[in-house]
């Protein structure tokens, strides 16, 4: 059975709708340089630029042999078809994308993504041998009403319901309380630990204890270089999903160092 020490820490930068492809190239070059000098080989680090940057970033990573994993922020579940404006999981896999965020709260809110859509996307990511980062989390109102656990259980069950245990063990879940995103004040390490426990207990019911122990759980929401160590130090938390602070290579690198220092 896997234990925490078998789970490689993961630090993922969700750029959202920031950085055009020129800015993206500069950012990954600066980040890659810092990572090479810092010799950060015991933590996985991914960047998730907008779709229009992916090819440029892929080329930089390959040409310079930078130890960064390419990520995407979403995908469509069909491989191809009449879906104007969409990008398929298959297309991302062809670009060497390794991790895809699914079910981010901003997509659930602004693009109307239901739990069912999230499940379809997650299935497509796995079908193309990439790793989904499933985002789950409660709103401030749900938290105030004492519904945090129930919301997390629903989101995890609905996303993972049809996934085989062996595949489920390879997935990543990011606990992102919506009230802590982009506000400059993160949840506490205790909140992150409690959410991680809920996620693992659902996965354990769906796919068994060893899948639950193998799966990585991240925390996301106002992560910065100062709070990383305490959040990653929380029980059952294997890394962080970073929004705003991932746009600046120096800040993001300090977060990577913070996550790594605990291993
Ligand atoms: P934030 O965003 O770090 O800017 O709060 C996190 C996220 O939405 O993934």
Q: Which of 104, 113, 128, 142 is catalytic?
A: 104
* CA pseudo-torsion sign 208, 241, 24, 252: negative
The confidence score (pLDDT) of residue 38 equals 74
- State the average pLDDT for the chain: 95
The confidence score (pLDDT) of residue 110 equals 97
DSSP 88: B
Distance from C-alpha of 108 to C-alpha of 123, rounded to nearest angstrom: 17
Ligand 1 midpoint to CA 241 (Å): 7
* DSSP strand pairing (239-242 vs 69-72): unpaired
The confidence score (pLDDT) of residue 40 equals 73
Ligand 1 midpoint to CA 220 (Å): 6
* DSSP strand pairing (172-175 vs 10-14): unpaired
Q: Delimit the domains of the chain by residue range.
A: 10-261
The confidence score (pLDDT) of residue 4 equals 64
Tokens representing 242 are 């970073």
Q: In angstroms, what is the C-alpha Rg of the chain?
A: 17
Please provide the CATH number assigned to the domain covering 10-261. Answer: 3.20.20.70
Q: Whose CA is nearest to atom 2 of ligand 1?
A: 243
DSSP 128: T
Q: Which residues lie below 8 Å from residue 22, measured CB to CB, with a gap of 6+?
A: none
The confidence score (pLDDT) of residue 3 equals 60
- Residues having CB within 6 Å of any atom of ligand 1: 14, 176, 181-182, 220-223, 241-245
Distance from C-alpha of 178 to C-alpha of 48, rounded to nearest angstrom: 19
Ligand 1 midpoint to CA 81 (Å): 32
Q: Identify whether 104 is a catalytic site residue.
A: yes
Q: Whose CA is nearest to atom 3 of ligand 1?
A: 243
Ligand 1 midpoint to CA 183 (Å): 9
Q: Identify whether 37 is a catalytic site residue.
A: no
- Alpha carbon distances (Å) from 139 to 118, 234, 249: 18, 21, 30
CB 169 within 8 A of CB 207: yes
The confidence score (pLDDT) of residue 42 equals 87
Helix (H), strand (E) at residue 50? none
Which ligand 1 atom lies nearest to the CA of residue 242? 3
Give tens-digit pLDDT for 8-29: 999 999 999 999 999 999 999 9
What are the residue ranges in the chain where pLDDT is below 50? 1-2
């Amino acid at each position: 059975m896997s234990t925490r020490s078998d789970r490689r820490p993961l630090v993922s930068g969700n750029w959202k709708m920031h950085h055009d492809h020129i800015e993206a190239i500069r950012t990954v070059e600066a980040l890659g340089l810092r990572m090479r000098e810092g010799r950060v080989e015991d933590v996985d680090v991914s960047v998730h630029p907008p779709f229009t940057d992916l090819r440029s970033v892929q080329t930089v990573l390959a040409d310079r042999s930078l130890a960064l994993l390419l990520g995407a922020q979403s995908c469509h579940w069909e491989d191809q078809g009449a879906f104007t404006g969409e990008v398929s999981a298959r297309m991302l896999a062809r670009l060497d994308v390794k991790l895809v965020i699914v079910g981010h709260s901003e997509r659930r809110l602004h693009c109307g993504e239901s739990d069912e859509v999230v499940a379809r996307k997650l299935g497509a990511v796995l079908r193309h041998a990439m790793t989904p980062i499933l985002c789950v989390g409660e709103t401030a109102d749900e938290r105030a009403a004492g519904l945090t656990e129930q919301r997390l259980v629903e989101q995890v069950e609905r996303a993972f319901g049809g996934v085989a245990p062996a595949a489920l063990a390879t997935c990543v879940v990011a606990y992102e309380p919506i009230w802590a995103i982009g506000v400059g004040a993160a949840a506490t390490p205790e909140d992150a630990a409690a959410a991680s426990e809920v996620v693992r207990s659902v996965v354990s019911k769906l796919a068994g204890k060893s899948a639950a122990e193998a799966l990585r759980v991240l925390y996301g929401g106002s992560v910065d270089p100062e709070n990383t160590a305490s959040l990653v130090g929380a029980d059952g938390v294997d890394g962080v999903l970073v929004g705003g602070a991932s746009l600046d290579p120096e800040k993001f690198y300090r977060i990577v160092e913070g996550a790594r220092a605990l291993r």
